[in-house]
Structure 1
Amino acid sequence: MPIFRSLFVAMRLWFTLIVLVLLFIAAYALPILFPLVRVAFVAFVILIGLDAWLLFRNQARRAVFARREVPDRLSNGDENPITIYLENQYAFRTRVEVIDEIPFQFQRRDVLFNAHLNPRETRAIRYELRPTRRGEYSFGAVNVFALSPLGLLKRRFQFEQGKMVAVYPSYLQMRQYELLAATNRLNEVGVKRIRRLGHSMEFEQVRPYATGDDVRTINWKATSRRSDAQGTSLMINAYQDERSQPVYCLIDKGRVMQSPFDGLTLLDYAINASLVLSNIALLKQDRAGILTFSSQVGQLLPADRRTGHMLRILELLYRQKTQFLETDFESLYASVRTHIRQRSLLLLFTNFETVNAMHRQLPYLRRLAKDHLLLVIFFENTELRSLLDLPASDTEQIYLKTIGEKFAFEKKQIVRELAQYGIQTILTAPQNLTANTVNKYLELKARGMI
C-alpha cells in the first residue's frame, strides 16, 4: 500500500522504545513501577497513532512540495549551483529532512539538509556540485521526509524523478573571461595588460592627438590642413588590430594527456582553455578553429567567426573522448598541411615529460613552425614541485629529490630547445593554463606576429 511505502520511523521513536524496555526490565525488580510503565506504553502507542494521523490524514494532496532547479547543462570543473525549493502545506510547523539523489559520478553521500518550515512557508536550499568529467549525468529523486511536532514517524515525499543533465566544457569560465574582457578587467583573472610593440598595418582613421599617443604616428599633412583652418591641432594615424587571423587549437587526446590534477585530466584542462581562448579570439575579430588528434587525426572544425560558431566549438569539445594510444604527430602534420593552407596561429596542447620524448616529435614541430606560428603548450608536474619544495630528511628522500630535479630540469630544457628553432612555448601548471594561454595570445597579437 502507498501509505506503508512512504512511512518511516524517526530516531525519537527508537529512543523512546528503548527507554520503555529499560523501564519494563526495572519493573521486574520494583513491581510498584509496573502499572506506571504500562500506562506510559499505552500513551506511547496512542501518540504513534496520533502522529500517523497528523502526517497521513490528507492523502488527496501532497502536504509538502519540493522542486529541484538544475541548469540545463553543467560546467565541467566549476562549482554549479543547485537549488531545491520547499513549501509546507501542513497546518503545523514541520521539520523536514531532504535527501537529493545526485548522479553517481560525484560519489557523494552527504547531500542531506534539515529545515523547519512554518505553515505555508516556502524556503530555498542551495548547494553546489563540481563535475570533473564531461558526459551525461542522471539525477534521481528529491526525497523529503516530513515530521510532525511529535517527531515519532516520518512521511516520505518524492519529486523530480529521473532528470538527465549534460556536463559541457567550462562555459562558466568562458563567460567569466568574456565579461571581464568586455569590461576591461581581465587582469582580475591573471591576464596581464600587454603594451603594444609597434603597429599593425591595418589603418583605421585619422583623429586628434591625445595625451599618451605615440608621436611617431603624427600625420603632418593632416595636421597642417587642420591648423590652417582651426589653429594648431596635431592629428595622428590610428591603427587597429589585425583582424580575421586564423587561430587553431590543436588538442592532443593521447595517453600523455590523461594525467589527473585536482579531479580533472590534462585533456579537460586543455579543452576548457581552448573554449575560453576561442571565445577571446572571436571577440578580437579573429577566426577560431579546433583540431583534435591522437593515434590518428580526430575532428577538424575550420576557423571561422560567423554567428553560431562558438556553439559549434562547444558541441565539438563536448564530444571528445579519451584515447590511450601513442600520439602520432606525423598524422597531425599531414592533416594541418592538407586542411590549413593559410598561415595561422597554432596552439598545440600536449605534454612532454622528457627531452627524448620531445626529440621524437621535433621534426614535425619544426615543419609546423615553418608554415605557421606554432605555440606549444605543455604542463608542469605540480606534484613533483611539491616534492622538491620539501626538505629531505633521509637518504631515500635525497634520491627522490635528485630524480625530481632531473625531471624538472628536462622540462626547462625542452623550452630552451624549442626556442632555438623559433617555436613559442608555454610551460604552465594546469590551474594557470587558461590565463597563461590568453596572455600569450594577446602578447603575440600585440607584437604583430599574427
Structure 2
Amino acid sequence: MKIFRALFVSVRLWLILLGFALAFVVAYVWPLLFPLVQIAFAAFVVLLLTEGFLLFRQSTVGNQPVFFARRDMPERLSNGDENPITLYLESRYAFATPVEIIDEIPFQFQRRDVLFTAHLKPNEPRAIRYELRPTRRGEYSFGAVNVFVMTPLRLLKRRFQFEEGRLVPVYPSYLQMRQYELLAVSNRLTELGIKRIRRVGHSMEFEQIRPYTQGDDLRSINWKATARRADSGQAALIVNAYQDERSQAVYCLIDKGRVMQSPFEGLTLLDYAINASLVLSNIALMKQDRAGLITFSEKIGQVVPAERRPGHMRKLLEVLFRQKTRFLETDFEALYTTIRTQVRQRSLLLLFTNFETLNGLQRQLPYLRRLAKDHLLLVIFFDNTELRGLLNTPARSTEEIYMKTIGEKFAYEKRQIVKELQQYGIASILTAPQDLTANTVNKYLEMKARGMI
C-alpha cells in the first residue's frame, strides 16, 4: 500500500497511452500493423516496469535514505517583509533524477505557484530558494515538502514527503527593526530616508572634557580648562563633550479602531503602525530613552510602561504580536484617562491613528488638546495613496470629473487637519503607509535633537 500511495504517473505517460490507443484503432483498420503495435506496447510495458523497479527497489543506501529534502526557514516570519525559504535536496539514486517539488505553504498566502523543478545528479546537493511575504500576524501552518522523483524517462513518479506539520508565528516586522538598528549603529540611516538633523545650541547633557579635534564646535571650547592646561605646559584646546539627554519616556499609542482597517499592499494600516512602533521603540532604546506602549480601541488594550531594561524589547515584540481587534469605534476619552493616571512624567506620545475628515478630528480634538497640555504629542495619520493616484490622473469623462472633485475635497480636508492641529500646537505627520517608519523616526530624531523631549 505504501508503494501505491507513493506512485504517481506523469502527463507524458498519459500521452503515450493515448498514442497507443490511437495506434490500436489504426491497427484495427489495417490489420497488418497490429503485430507491430502489440510488440511496441509490450516493450513499453517492460520499460514501464523497469522504471518502477528502479524507483522503488530501495528506500535507503547504506544508512542514508535514498532521497533527502529539508525546508530551512526562520523560526518566525516577519510581517510585511520578504522572508527567505530554502529547500535543500540530495539524491542518492545511482542515476540522474529529474524532480518536482511542491511546498505546502499556509493558506493565508493564497499562492498556487510554489512548484519547482530540478535535475539532480547522484549525491549532488541542491538548494532552491524562494520568498514569502505574510500580511497578517498570527500562526501559520506549513505542510509537507512533496518531492516527486523520476527517472530520465519521466513516466512514473515516486513521491517523498518531508517536514510535515510545522507552525510558524508571524511577528511584527523584526527584519525592518534589525535593518534600522544596524544602520543606526553604523550611522547610515540616511540610506533609508532618515535625515541628518542639525543640532541647534547645546540642549544635551554634559558628558566629559576632551582635547579639541578638527570639526568640533568652537562654541564648545572650555577656556578655563584650556588655560589650566597651558599653565601646566601643555598647550592644547579643551572642549566640552555632550551626549543626548537620556531616559526620556517615549510612548507609542496605537489606535486599533475601524479607521485603521483600511488595507494598503496587503497590510492594514494597523499593521503598518505596529511595524513602525516596533522600529521606533528599538531606536528609542538605542538612544538611551525609555520605550512604552499603549493600544486602544473601544476600550484600552495593553499598557506597557516606559522602561529600558534587558529584555524590554522582547516584551514589546510579544505584546505587539498578540494584538487583536474587532475594528470598532475608538474611545479617545478612555485613552486620555489612562495616560493621565498611568503616565506621570512628561513624555513623547506618538499617536498612530487616522482621520479622513475634519469633523472626525474635531470630535477627538478636545482629548488631543488635553494630552498635548501635559505631554509632547505627535499625531501620525495616513495619506490616501489611492486618492492621490486618482488626483494625478487626467479626467476624461463627466463621471471622472465628478470623482476627481470629490477626491480633491478629501485631499483638502487632510491638509486642513494638519493646519487644525498646528493651530493648537500639536505636531503631526501626514504620511503614506510605505513611508511611515522613516518619517516617524525622522520626526523623533528631530525632536530629540532640538531638545523638545
In the TM superposition, what is the alpha-carbon distance from 1:112 to its structure 2 partner? 0.4
1:42 is paired with a residue whose SS is helix
User: Who is 2:277 aligned against?
Assistant: 274
Pick from 339, 343, 352: which aligns with 1:340?
A: 343
Matched, 1:386 2:389: yes
Q: Matched residues in 1 for 2:213 and 2:387: separation? A: 51
In the TM superposition, what is the alpha-carbon distance from 1:224 to its structure 2 partner? 1.4
User: Who is 2:24 aligned against?
Assistant: 24
Q: Matched residues in 1 for 2:214 and 2:127: separation? A: 53
- Write out aligned runs for 1:186-265 (5 A): 186-230=189-233, 232-265=235-268
CA contact under 8 A between 1:69 and 1:84: conserved in structure 2? yes
Which one-letter code corresponds to 2:44 in the other structure?
Answer: F
- Write out aligned runs for 1:62-77 (5 A): 62-77=65-80
CA contact under 8 A between 1:345 and 1:372: conserved in structure 2? yes
Aligned length: 450
- Write out aligned runs for 1:4-19 (5 A): 4-19=4-19
- Write out aligned runs for 1:344-383 (5 A): 344-383=347-386
In the TM superposition, what is the alpha-carbon distance from 1:373 to its structure 2 partner? 0.3
Q: Matched residues in 1 for 2:441 and 2:326: separation? A: 27
1:333-356 deviations in whole A, cap 9, x for unaligned? 000000000000000000000000
1:230 is paired with a residue whose SS is coil
User: Who is 1:132 aligned against?
Assistant: 135
User: Who is 1:428 aligned against?
Assistant: 431
Q: Matched residues in 1 for 2:152 and 2:207: separation? A: 74
Q: Matched residues in 2 for 1:59 and 1:350: separation? A: 59
User: Who is 2:167 aligned against?
Assistant: 164
CA contact under 8 A between 1:288 and 1:305: conserved in structure 2? yes
Pick from 97, 102, 105: which aligns with 1:99?
A: 102
1:128 is paired with a residue whose SS is strand
2:232 is paired with a residue whose SS is helix
2:42 is paired with a residue whose SS is helix
User: Who is 1:44 aligned against?
Assistant: 44
Q: Matched residues in 1 for 2:436 and 2:117: separation? A: 40
In the TM superposition, what is the alpha-carbon distance from 1:17 to its structure 2 partner? 0.9
Which segment is superposed worse, 337-346 or 221-230? 221-230
Which one-letter code corresponds to 2:156 in the other structure?
Answer: L
Which segment is superposed worse, 197-206 or 319-328? 197-206
Q: Matched residues in 2 for 1:414 and 1:165: separation? A: 41
In the TM superposition, what is the alpha-carbon distance from 1:29 to its structure 2 partner? 2.7
User: Who is 1:143 aligned against?
Assistant: 146
The TM-score, its normalising length taken from structure 2, stands at: 0.98
Q: Matched residues in 2 for 1:217 and 1:59: separation? A: 77
Identity %: 74
Pick from 90, 93, 113: which aligns with 1:90?
A: 93
User: Who is 2:3 aligned against?
Assistant: 3
Q: Matched residues in 1 for 2:204 and 2:71: separation? A: 55
In the TM superposition, what is the alpha-carbon distance from 1:89 to its structure 2 partner? 1.1
CA contact under 8 A between 1:98 and 1:112: conserved in structure 2? yes
CA contact under 8 A between 2:100 and 2:116: conserved in structure 1? yes
Which segment is superposed worse, 109-118 or 214-223? 214-223
Which segment is superposed worse, 182-191 or 199-208? 199-208
Which one-letter code corresponds to 1:52 in the other structure?
Answer: G
Q: Matched residues in 1 for 2:52 and 2:260: separation? A: 58
CA contact under 8 A between 2:204 and 2:451: conserved in structure 1? no
CA contact under 8 A between 2:60 and 2:66: conserved in structure 1? no
1:156-208 deviations in whole A, cap 9, x for unaligned? 01111100000000000000000000111000111111111121251111222
The TM-score, its normalising length taken from structure 1, stands at: 0.98
Q: Matched residues in 2 for 1:27 and 1:21: separation? A: 10
CA contact under 8 A between 2:395 and 2:404: conserved in structure 1? yes
Which one-letter code corresponds to 1:276 in the other structure?
Answer: V
1:19-48 deviations in whole A, cap 9, x for unaligned? 111211222232221111111111111111
1:58 is paired with a residue whose SS is coil
Which segment is superposed worse, 47-56 or 332-341? 47-56
In the TM superposition, what is the alpha-carbon distance from 1:231 to its structure 2 partner? 5.3
Q: Matched residues in 1 for 2:70 and 2:218: separation? A: 63
Q: Matched residues in 1 for 2:73 and 2:212: separation? A: 53
Q: Matched residues in 2 for 1:199 and 1:173: separation? A: 32
CA contact under 8 A between 1:82 and 1:129: conserved in structure 2? yes
1:151 is paired with a residue whose SS is coil
Q: Matched residues in 2 for 1:342 and 1:27: separation? A: 95
In the TM superposition, what is the alpha-carbon distance from 1:16 to its structure 2 partner? 1.0
Q: Matched residues in 2 for 1:204 and 1:177: separation? A: 26
Q: Matched residues in 2 for 1:338 and 1:315: separation? A: 24
Unaligned runs of 5+ in 2: none
Q: Matched residues in 2 for 1:187 and 1:362: separation? A: 34
Unaligned runs of 5+ in 1: none
Aligned alpha-carbon RMSD (Å): 1.1
Q: Matched residues in 2 for 1:403 and 1:130: separation? A: 34
1:414 is paired with a residue whose SS is helix
Which one-letter code corresponds to 1:73 in the other structure?
Answer: R
1:334 is paired with a residue whose SS is helix
